[in-house]
């Protein structure tokens, strides 16, 4: 099943505005300030963070269940860092922080499952060009 998203930008880079949609229910607006400064609004990197957190949470939940430890919940927060590299805006780091509520499992096993899920997550694999993707995994 293909995933659908679209965006439109109007005007020049510094003063223009953009809108995006993802699927049927996600939409927002973005500007230069919301993307490269600390202005209000959304930006594409937030969508990447949400996609990565969602995909990783699903992948980890699946791995845990397949190993005989279905989770009550897996909550993941992703932080995408955008920096200038040789004068070009570049995603240089994604930090995943996940907390799992998983009965019958110890911290070491949870971390092992989390690392495997990070390696196998569809979005992690799609973002393989990001130089640093970190993972902090904790049982609650």
Span 17-59, pLDDT tens digits: 999 999 899 999 999 999 999 899 999 999 999 999 999 999 9
- Cβ-contact 56, 48 below 8 angstroms: no
Question: How far is 56 from 76, CA to CA, in rounded Å?
Answer: 7
**Mean pLDDT value across the chain:** 95
59-95 confidence digits (pLDDT tens): 999 999 999 999 999 999 999 999 999 999 999 999 9
Kindly state the tokens that stand for 3: 């995933």
| pLDDT beyond 90 at 1 | no
Helices vs strands, H then E, count in the chain: 4, 6
Taking the C-alpha atoms of residue 109 and residue 89, their distance in angstroms, rounded to an integer, is 37
pLDDT at 78: 98
CA-CA distance, 110 to 123, in Å (whole number)? 20
Question: Exposure pattern of 108-119 as b/e (b: 16+ CB <10 Å)?
Answer: eebbebbeebbe
pLDDT of 96 over the 90 cut: yes
Task: Please check the confidence at residue 104 and state whether its pLDDT lies above 90.
Answer: yes
């Amino acid at each position: 099943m293909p995933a659908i998203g679209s965006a439109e930008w109007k005007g020049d880079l510094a003063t223009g505005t953009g809108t995006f949609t993802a699927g049927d229910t996600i939409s927002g607006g973005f500007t230069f300030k919301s993307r490269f400064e600390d202005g209000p609004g959304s930006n594409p990197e937030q969508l990447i963070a949400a996609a990565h957190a969602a995909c990783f949470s699903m992948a980890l939940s699946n791995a845990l269940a397949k190993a005989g430890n279905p989770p009550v919940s897996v909550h993941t927060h992703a932080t995408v860092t955008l920096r200038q590299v040789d004068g070009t805006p570049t995603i240089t780091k994604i930090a995943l922080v996940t907390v799992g509520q998983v009965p019958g499992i110890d911290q070491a096993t949870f971390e092992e499952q989390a690392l495997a899920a990070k390696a196998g997550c569809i979005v992690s694999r799609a973002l393989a060009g990001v130089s640093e993707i970190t993972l902090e995994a904790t049982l609650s």
